């Protein structure tokens, strides 16, 4: 694996390549940044990663929950909670940021379920998911590289963390 090239303002160093003295999240984010150097691809990620995350949550929200075990959204909550625990263990600031994002996305799912029903929510989620992934693949075509998750499935979790890290850095908060 080659050493990641840091993006503007990144604190990623050559140690990332070997993993020496670097937390796993920093290594993953550094590698992800290395695969996302093209400014247009980065913009596309800002536009497409959040809708992908929302659409997965919405699809899970649309799955019926037997009343004896819970309310609508239980499956989405369970999967999101597992993802959130992973983020929290990697970085408290990223975990808190994504907890807020998940809460907003959950509220949107709840309101849409009330308004358009489970089938409408599922169809909407599927359309958003497909369109956002088309955008992602266009971005990677422009970049001239394959999406990171094709080399390691963990990178499906890193996209949202990468955006959270960039937002936190802009706010002056270290991860």
Domain boundary assignment for the chain: 17-170
pLDDT tens readout for residues 73-101: 999 999 999 999 999 999 999 999 999 99
Specify the pLDDT at position 3: 44
- Report the distance separating Cα 137 and Cα 97, nearest Å: 26
Specify the pLDDT at position 22: 60
Q: Measured on CA atoms in the order 172, 13, 48, 61, is the torsion positive or negative?
A: negative
pTM for the full predicted model: 0.85
Specify the pLDDT at position 21: 53
Specify the pLDDT at position 7: 43
Name the CA radius of gyration of the chain, rounded: 17
pLDDT tens readout for residues 12-67: 434 444 445 568 899 999 999 988 999 999 999 999 999 999 999 999 999 999 99
Question: Can you tell me the mean pLDDT for 107-117?
Answer: 98
Enclosing H/E stretch for 157: helix 155-170
Q: At what angle do helices 92-143 and 39-61 cross, to 10 degrees?
A: 120
pLDDT tens readout for residues 115-162: 999 999 999 999 999 999 999 999 999 999 888 888 888 999 999 999
């Amino acid at each position: 694996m080659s050493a990641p090239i840091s993006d503007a303002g990144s604190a990623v160093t050559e140690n990332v390549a070997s993993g020496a003295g670097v937390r796993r999240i920093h290594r993953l984010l550094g590698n992800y940044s290395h695969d996302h150097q093209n400014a247009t691809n980065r913009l596309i990620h800002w536009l497409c990663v959040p809708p992908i995350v929302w659409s997965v949550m919405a699809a899970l929200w649309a799955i019926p929950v037997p009343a004896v075990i819970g309310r609508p959204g239980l499956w989405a909550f369970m999967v999101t909670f597992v993802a959130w625990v992973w983020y929290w263990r990697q970085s408290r600031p990223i975990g808190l940021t994504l907890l807020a994002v998940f809460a907003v996305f959950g509220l949107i799912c709840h309101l849409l379920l009330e308004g358009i029903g489970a089938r409408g929510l599922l169809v909407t989620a599927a359309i958003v998911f497909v369109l956002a992934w088309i955008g992602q693949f266009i971005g990677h075509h422009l970049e001239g590289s394959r999406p990171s998750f094709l080399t390691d499935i963990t990178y499906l979790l890193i996209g949202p963390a990468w955006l959270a890290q960039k937002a936190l850095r802009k706010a002056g908060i270290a991860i």
